[in-house]
C-alpha cells in the first residue's frame, strides 16, 4: 500500500461531517443518543496527546500538529473523538515549547472542525500536579469548552472519588 497523500485540493474543501456535527446540532444528550445507537465500532485516537507524550516527552510543536490536521479531518472524520489535550500537554506547551496551550486548542479546532475533541482531565488537579480550588477547575473546564473542547475524560491517579466527582461536575457544568 502506498503513502496516502492529502492533495492541496482536499485542504481547500470542507472535511466530511463527523460526530461533532451531531454534538453541535443536538447537544450532549443527542450526541450520547447517537453514540448509543451506532452499530459500528467507534474509535478514539490519542495520537495528538499520548503518542508524543509517551514517545517524545510531549515535545511535538503546534506547528507540526497543524500540518497533519487537514489530513486527519478529511481521512478520520468517522472517529468518535480525537484526544489532543490534557495530561502533560498543557504544562509542556508552556514550560518547554514556549507555546500557548489555549492557542493550540483553538488552532486545532479551526483545522479539525468535524471531529469531537477529547481531553484528559486529572480530576481536582485539572491539568496540573496538585489539587486546585474547585472554582479554578470549574473555570478551566468552562474556558476549555469555549476554546473548542468537547469531551472530558476524567481520572484521578488514586481513584479518589471526591477528586473524580469534582472533575466530572466541572466538565458537566462547562457544557
Nearest CA to 59 out of 26, 31, 96, 11 is that of 96
Q: Is the pLDDT of residue 4 over 60?
A: no
With bands split at pLDDT 50, 70 and 90, how would you rate the model's confidence at 57? low
CATH number at residue 130: 3.20.20.70
**Residue 30: what pLDDT?**
96
With respect to residue 151, please indicate whether it lies within any of the assigned structural domains. Answer: yes
**Residue 106: what pLDDT?**
98
Residue-wise pLDDT tens digits, 94-129: 888 899 999 999 999 999 999 999 999 999 999 998
Residue 127 domain boundaries: 44-174
With respect to residue 38, please indicate whether it lies within any of the assigned structural domains. Answer: no
Listing DSSP states for 102-138 in one string gives HHHHHHHHHH--SS-EEEEE-GGGTTSSS---HHHHH
With respect to residue 3, please indicate whether it lies within any of the assigned structural domains. Answer: no
With respect to residue 29, please indicate whether it lies within any of the assigned structural domains. Answer: no
With respect to residue 90, please indicate whether it lies within any of the assigned structural domains. Answer: yes
With respect to residue 30, please indicate whether it lies within any of the assigned structural domains. Answer: no
What does the block give as the cell for 61?
A: 510543536
Count of structural domains, the chain: 1
With respect to residue 23, please indicate whether it lies within any of the assigned structural domains. Answer: no
pTM metric for this prediction: 0.90
With respect to residue 72, please indicate whether it lies within any of the assigned structural domains. Answer: yes
Look up cell 515535545; give the residue: 59
Amino acid at each position: 500500500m502506498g503513502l496516502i497523500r492529502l492533495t492541496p485540493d482536499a485542504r481547500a474543501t470542507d472535511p466530511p461531517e463527523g460526530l461533532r456535527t451531531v454534538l453541535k446540532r443536538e447537544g450532549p444528550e443527542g450526541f450520547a443518543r447517537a453514540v448509543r445507537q451506532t452499530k459500528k465500532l467507534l474509535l478514539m485516537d490519542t495520537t495528538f496527546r499520548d503518542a508524543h507524550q509517551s514517545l517524545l516527552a510531549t515535545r511535538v510543536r503546534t506547528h507540526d500538529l497543524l500540518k497533519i490536521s487537514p489530513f486527519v479531518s478529511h481521512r478520520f472524520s468517522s472517529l468518535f473523538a480525537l484526544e489532543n489535550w490534557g495530561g502533560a500537554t498543557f504544562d509542556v506547551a508552556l514550560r518547554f515549547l514556549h507555546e500557548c496551550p489555549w492557542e493550540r486548542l483553538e488552532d486545532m479546532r479551526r483545522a479539525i472542525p468535524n471531529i469531537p475533541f477529547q481531553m484528559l482531565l486529572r480530576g481536582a488537579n485539572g491539568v496540573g500536579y496538585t489539587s486546585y480550588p474547585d472554582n479554578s477547575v470549574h473555570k478551566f473546564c468552562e474556558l476549555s469548552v469555549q476554546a473548542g473542547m468537547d469531551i472530558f475524560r476524567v481520572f484521578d491517579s488514586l481513584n479518589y472519588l471526591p477528586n473524580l466527582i469534582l472533575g466530572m461536575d466541572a466538565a458537566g457544568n462547562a457544557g
